[in-house]
Structure 1
Amino acid sequence: MSVDTSRRIVLLRHAKADWPDVADHERPLADRGRADSSVAGRRLAETGIAFDLALCSTSARTRETWKLAVHELPQRPRTVYEDRLYDATLGDLLALINETPDDVTDLLLVGHNPGMHALADAMAGTDSGEHVARMTRSGFPTAAFAVIGVDRSWKSVELGVGTLQEFWAPHD
């Protein structure tokens, strides 16, 4: 695959979590989160994106979100559970993108805020207008996703080089 191939990064924030008396990493989804995960999966399927690779945080709520969302996709992508997505900084997220193999065209990250919102905002170039405005208005709520297009190799992706092609939130 040529390094100048159009690629997409989809950032999916985990769905609404419950607050039981457990460590943050082990928090499960709330009932609303389980319902929203399936809705997000159906909406991801409607985009027509055939993900080559999904990187999912190891937290219980992200794993559960992904398990319910992926069930709605026409084809299950290779999935890697990645510790670095939990509590990831903007730099951590960019490093994961830069490490993506060149044979991956469409990458999905299932993670947490504030990282998902920060990355979507920082990646969006100046021609992302209406989608950035919608994301700014709604924040990056649980079960929301952003689709970012980039026209370069993964290792040369940096902040500001993408186009926010779509932003979706379940209760928007």
Structure 2
Amino acid sequence: MSVAEPRRIVLFRHAKADWPQVSDHERPLADRGRKDAAVAGRKLADSGVPFDLALCSTATRTRETWKLAVQELPQRPKTVYEERLYEASPGELIAVLNELPDDARSVIMIGHNPGVQGLADILPGRSEGDARERMNRRGFPAAAFAVLSFDGSWKSLEPAVATLLDYWAPTE
């Protein structure tokens, strides 16, 4: 694959988590989170983006979100559970993406706020349709995702180089 071909990134925030007496890293999904994760998976399938790779935080709620969402996709991508996604800043998330091999064309990252929302805010320099307006209005609630595209290698990914193609969030 040529590095000149557009790349896709989906930034996917974990679904709604429960608050039992466990460490933050071990928090599971709430009932609503399990429902929303499956709905988000169906919406991701509808987007038609075939993922080459999934990068998922090691936190319980992100792993559970991905397990439910990926069942809705027509094909399961290779999944890498990445400790660095937990509590990561937008800059740290970009650093992880910059390390990706150039043969990965479409990547989904399942992570946490405020990092995921911050990254969705700074990566796009442009937006299609009303995607930016919808994202700005809704914020980045649990189970929301943003679909972005950019040209070049993963090493060239930096703020303002991508286009925000779509945004989705569950209804409350």
Work out whether residues 55 and 108 of structure 1, in 8 Å CA contact, stay in contact via their aligned partners in 2.
yes
| TM-fit CA distance, 1:132 | 1.2
- Retained in 1: the 8 A contact 2:127–2:165? no
Partner of 1:123: 123
Match of 1:15 in 2: 15
**What is the percentage of aligned positions where both structures have the same residue?**
63
TM superposition shift of 1:20: 0.4
Cα distance in 1 for partners of 2:159, 2:67 equals 29
Separation in structure 2 between the aligned mates of residue 169 and residue 137 of structure 1, nearest angstrom = 11
Aligned-pair CA distance for 1:75: 0.3
SS at match of 1:165: strand
CA deviations over 1:80-113 (Å, ceiling 9, x no partner): 0000000001111001110111000000000000
Find the counterpart in structure 2 of residue 135 from structure 1.
135
In the alignment, the residues of structure 2 paired with residue 51 and residue 128 of structure 1 have an alpha-carbon distance, to the nearest angstrom, of 21
Does structure 2 retain, via aligned residues, the 8 Å contact 1:124–1:132? no
SS in 2 for 1:125: strand
Q: After the TM superposition, which segments of 4 or more aligned residues of structure 1 sit over 2 Å from their partners?
A: 126-129
Counterpart of 1:107 in structure 2 is 107
| Residue 170 (structure 2) pairs with residue 170 (structure 1) | yes
Match of 1:98 in 2: 98
In the alignment, what sits opposite 2:80?
Answer: 80
Q: What is the TM-score with the length of structure 2 in the denominator?
A: 0.98
Measured against aligned partners, the alpha-carbon deviations of 1:25-50 in whole angstroms (never above 9, x if no partner) come to 00000000000000000000001111
How big is the shift at 1:127? 3.9
Output the CA distance in 2 between the equivalents of 1:137 and 1:129.
14
The aligned residue for residue 150 of structure 1 is: 150
Q: Answer with 2-11 or 121-130: which moved more.
A: 121-130
Aligned-CA RMSD value: 1.0
Q: Secondary structure at the match of 1:164?
A: strand
Q: Which runs of 5+ in 2 are unaligned?
A: none
The count of residues paired between Structure 1 and Structure 2 equals 172
Q: Which runs of 5+ in 1 are unaligned?
A: none
